[in-house]
Chain A
Amino acid sequence: MSSGDIKGFYRQKKKNSGVTKPSSSSSSSKKSKSKHYTGGASVGAPSAAQTPALVTRGGAIDLKEEYGDEEEALRQFDMDMKYGPCIGFGRLERWERAAAMGLHPPPHVREVLVGLASGSTARSSKFKCLWEGLV
């Protein structure tokens, strides 16, 4: 997690108040964006929409405007440690596993994923977890 040069990297301006520099302290940093994204385990990480590495995901810069409420809910599901680690595991399979273990994962997440399966296949990146291809 590099702590410098984010400002110089991007030429565009974001809607929210400036770039949040990742803090090196290990206290649980609640990144308060306008959409209340309270991540669980991503301590010290730069806010998700700003990292250059996310350019690889789907081939487009993952801007906050583009990923809407659905993706937000899916990311919340990914980050929730109660259902186990999310890396290397598809979201739908992880949901099924959590349901089989009796953890009562939120049903609307499954609806979103199943809805996507029947919809366009262009959004197949949503089936992979947040860190797919990055870790």
Chain B
Amino acid sequence: MADSEMGEATLERKLAVYRNLDERFVIREEKYKGQQFSHIYFMRLHHMRSQLQSLIPNWKPHLPVNTVLGLEEGKECIIVGTLYKHMKLKPSILDEYSKERSAIPLVKPHNFMSTDDHLILEDESGRVKLAGPMLAPSAFVTGIVIAVHGKETSEGDFFVEDFLEAGLAPQVDRPLDSREDKFVAFVSGLSVGTNAFNPLQFQLLVDHVTGHLGDENEQRISSKIVRLVIAGNSMHISHGFFSGQTVAPKDHAKLTEPIRELDIFLTQLVAALPVDIMPGCNDPANYSLPQQPLHRCLFAGASAYNTFVSCTNPHHFELDNVQFVGTSGQNIDDLYKYSDAKDKIEFMERTLRWRHLAPTAPNTLGCYPYVDKDPFLIESCPHVYFVGNQEKYETRLLQGPDKQLVRLISIPRFCETGVAVMVHKQTPLSLSLKFLPPVSLFLLFYLCSLTLGTWNAMRSVSPQICKCDCGYPMGTALGSSMHTRLCSYFTGDILPLPISAFFFYLGRLFSPDCCNF
């Protein structure tokens, strides 16, 4: 795909070899036969236990490994099992039926932790309560598989002296440096259809990524973007429509408006570069993980292009042999509700160390009841791990004991922050692009320009005429360009203009965390 500039050499967009590895998340042959969630927990335990058992000899080789039922009082040993965290404040469907409501607050807190939480370890034979200061319940959640070393006390608890998590999975070697720079752009939380969505802001992003913005240097950067990944919550359908009542014919348009608006933007994007779109918690996709790809018929315009790829959530793909894995944020948000950490990046680190993308599924996070596999297990450590729909942009480079190197990225919601993230495929660096429409500044400049133009007209100095031939006098070339931009925006024409570049540079000037490594 070429972005051409008038009369100069065409800039070609870089290409990268893409492989979609979402197969394990797509629900194809699975049939629901009435099974419960015990099978997915069994598969998880079996798989993680075999991995932990290969790590235990390096950790504490002299201790025996027992099952929970085989514990003897006072004898030191290691047990491997799934953690269950008993939480008093965890909302339960049975609360509706309980006679006394005093223990559970009516207003749901954001975080359900309390000081009374305790951990229980479970395997196929039984369960035992874990005691001791080594395991802080606030750092753990239900559903992770660990090995603990300790002994059984006289009360029947297991006193923990040490514990072992699986740690980062082995990583496929990153491919050797090629001379070229390639970037992958990430954005999430567009929320088309809400009041928070600003079309100008998103249009700026589209223009920048497709190369219609800025001078040649900017276009050169844009030509290095090989893919755009939209990590969930692209549209928002008003919740009034979910009450189950029939929608009046006059409201039909309101129902499909956000989808159509998103499709228009997407068509501009897919015409220029490959786009992956993932479903999020507000998108019209299924609720339980793994969310299935958004249907093609939602995107009448964009799905005609072969650069449009609708993906599952979680999403796993490979670009030039660099592994990317990410979700739209439900897994990390759920961890935030049931455990505590310094920041969201730390939650992401923990999921990698536990080798499981969504450990709280199916306990508190909706999940399909698989019988023969647990698709969220992380078999090989990715090179880039991203999570969408978070509050702010954060990134960290995580190093593992076996020379694993993972770039962790938390992508903020675009409708709130206007920040998109670009990741350099090779190194991997990441930087954030902030699209600020400084509306007040715009108005001020526009008014100044108008005043100046009128002043010039009064003094008979030949004014700059707006390019769209509306005849409006503007004082400065920049002002006239701005006006043309306004006109073009409303007529749907998109012209490459210095004013867009002005916005872009202004935004970069004012955003303190514009370039982040």
Contacts and interface: CB of A to CB of B under 8 A. Distances in A.
Interface in A65-90: 81-82, 84-85, 87-90
B33 interface: yes
A90 B39 CA distance: 12
Given A81-B125, A97-B371, A97-B372, A88 B33 contact: yes
Contact of B35 (A82, A88, A100, A101): A88
Report, nearest first, the 10 A-B pairs whose CB atoms are least far apart: A88-B35, A84-B42, A85-B38, A81-B124, A88-B34, A97-B372, A88-B36, A89-B35, A85-B42, A89-B371
A99 to B, nearest CB: 11
B46 interface: yes
B309 to A, nearest CB: 31
A87 B37 CA distance: 10
A21 to B, nearest CB: 25
Given A81-B124, A84-B39, A101-B46, 17 more contacts: A81-B125, A82-B124, A84-B38, A84-B42, A85-B36, A85-B39, A85-B42, A88-B33, A88-B35, A88-B39, A89-B33, A89-B35, A89-B371, A93-B371, A97-B371, A97-B372, A100-B372
A88 B125 CA distance: 20
5 contacts: A84-B43, A88-B35, A88-B36, A88-B39, A90-B33
Interface string A83-118: 011011110010001001100000000000000000
A87 B36 contact: yes
Contacts of A82: 124
A104 to B, nearest CB: 14
A87 B371 contact: no
A93 B42 CA distance: 15
Nearest to B69: A28
A89 B371 CA distance: 8
Contacts of B36: 85, 87-88
A87 B38 contact: yes
Contacts of A100: 372
Interface in B230-262: none
A85 B43 CA distance: 10
A84 B39 CA distance: 7
A101 B48 CA distance: 13
Contacts of B46: 84, 101
A87 B371 CA distance: 11
A101 B372 CA distance: 9
A85 B39 CA distance: 6
Nearest to A28: B69
Interface string B112-138: 000000000000110000000000000
Interface in A34-93: 81-82, 84-85, 87-90, 93
Contacts of B34: 88
Interface in B6-39: 33-36, 38-39
Contacts of B39: 84-85, 88-89
A27 to B, nearest CB: 12
A17 to B, nearest CB: 30
Contacts of B42: 84-85
Interface string B379-397: 0000000000000000000
Nearest to A84: B42
Contacts of A87: 35-36, 38
A82 B67 CA distance: 12
A88 B34 CA distance: 6
A82 B372 CA distance: 15
Interface in B23-65: 33-36, 38-39, 42-43, 46
A82 B42 CA distance: 10
B40 to A, nearest CB: 10
A100 B43 CA distance: 12
Contacts of A88: 33-36, 39, 371
B308 to A, nearest CB: 36
